[in-house]
Amino acid sequence: MALAMYKTPSNCLAWLSSSSWKCVVAGALSSLAWGPFYIWWVLIFTWGALITKLYASKTLNEALTIGWMWSFGWHMTSVFWIGESLWVDPLRFAWFWPVCVAGIPGIFACYIGVMSGLLWWGKRHFWPSPQAFGLIWCVLYSGTEYLKGVLFTGFPWNLTAYIWSQTLCIAQSASFLSSYGLGLVTLTLLSWPARSFLACSTHRSWWQGTGYMTLGLAFLTSWCLVRLHRLPVRFHSQGAFRLVQPNFSQREKHDAKRISINWNILCKLSGEKTFFPITHIIWPETSVPFSLSFDHLESIPLLAWTHKYPSHLIAGALLHTEEESFNSIIQVTPEGTRKILYHKQHLVPFGEYLPFRAYLTRIFPLWILQVLTPGTRNMKESKKETSIIQALGTPPCIMKICYEIIFPISTSCPKAQWILNLTNDGWFGYTPGPFQHLASAQFRAIETGLPVLRAANTGISAVFDGMGRTLVTLPLQKRGYIDTLLPLPTPSYCVWHGYIYTGMLILMTFFVGGYSLWRKR
């Protein structure tokens, strides 16, 4: 009998849905659809397991439990790499690892848990038919994904659209639909076999759903291939960039004895021979290996003549005042001008600041707060919401430091010509985290039509053109540099993304409502 359960894909769905704990397994397997694996078709079965189990649930508590357990399994295997940062200083933080890798997924799982309860309630009152239930699941799941990306400072990590990071002939549709819109389309298409099976519960209906899914993916692919063919890669005629990846471990970065060693490595990589004049050398996030104050930027040595061509330096640095610290990007020109370009605007909660620190210090001892967020003071966000930065010698650009690149850019920036992303993924070792972070940067290029130049301390440095095409990368945990010209931007529909996504949600919701009313007649 056990073997017979595996004869058809529909039986696989039924087996995965046979008991609640298996939803954790299904959720965990879902993480294979994202980087670095990109086995996207696994979601046909794991989403199918979730949909069929939720539809069969008898009580609200059962639905809440199923949704939460599925989501917990997915988040636990998707973001476990966050706990890797605790091993940089294991004597202080390793004991907190179980809380990190289980507690964070448990909190995020509440989003899908609440959604599942709402879905079950709606089934009793508004969408009892399997077809309507399956479609509204797509709408609610997509809406929940959006809310997770904006509520409580937001965490839009591993959006559904990112499963297509290595399938550019589908990912390209995010240029028109946005990442959230492509995610909604993906949910609708990949859940089609499960929705068909849910409606008819037959082997034949499952394969019919697969056929419709295939036709939908083929249509997306055709549109994207035409767009990719019509817009080849083009470059600015002047200016060239060197992206430096020094590959310092976190222990090396924070070792005071290595300040001069780290500086010399950065200078050596910056000064290697090149086949064309380098106008700008770009160092990653917090790459300047010594403390800087706002009043003493002149302490940064000039790098203008590290090779025979004079170059600007654009680098990540921590800047301090007596009471504040900023994660910043600075510029040093060949003439010796030192300029602050950008302060990070969207900080990482519990990484760069402790929420409600003033209140928590009255309740908890200092050693507990030090575990949650090392240091005795928060980093400061820039209060100036700057969207376009004019670095000397370059076209106007949008600057994003590390975590900021994961947030979809929903506003049009007509003057911007490119995006600069400085990051440091050295906290997370050789885990899925750096690969998933890279996918976010790629989708910012696709959404905005702006090329992305990404310099990582150790992570994955890369250059994407405005279509999201990967022009060159430097692998994880490898020391080196990338020399590149600046790609030209491509046409963008970014200004319409919010309207398009909202319209898709409304249309699908009205369709489900109309279909449900028709069924009642």
pLDDT in tens, 243-258: 999 999 888 887 888 9
Does this model's pTM top 0.75? Answer: yes
Q: How far apart are the first and last CA of the chain?
A: 41
Question: 235-346+381-490 sits in which CATH class?
Answer: alpha beta
**pLDDT in the model for residue 292:** 82
Q: State how far the Cα of 62 lies from the Cα of 56, in Å rounded to an integer.
A: 10
**pLDDT in the model for residue 15:** 43
Closest CA to 112 of 60, 76, 68: 68
Q: Which residues of the chain, if any, have pLDDT below 50?
A: 1-7, 13-18, 376-377
CA 70 to chain centre: 21
Q: State how far the Cα of 185 lies from the Cα of 182, in Å rounded to an integer.
A: 5
Q: State how far the Cα of 495 lies from the Cα of 498, in Å rounded to an integer.
A: 7
**pLDDT in the model for residue 10:** 54
* Amino acid occupying residue 121: W
Tens of pLDDT along 142-187? Answer: 999 999 999 988 999 999 999 999 999 999 999 999 999 999 999 9
Intervals of CATH 3.60.110.10 along the chain: 235-346+381-490
Beta strand 292-293 pairing with 312-320: parallel
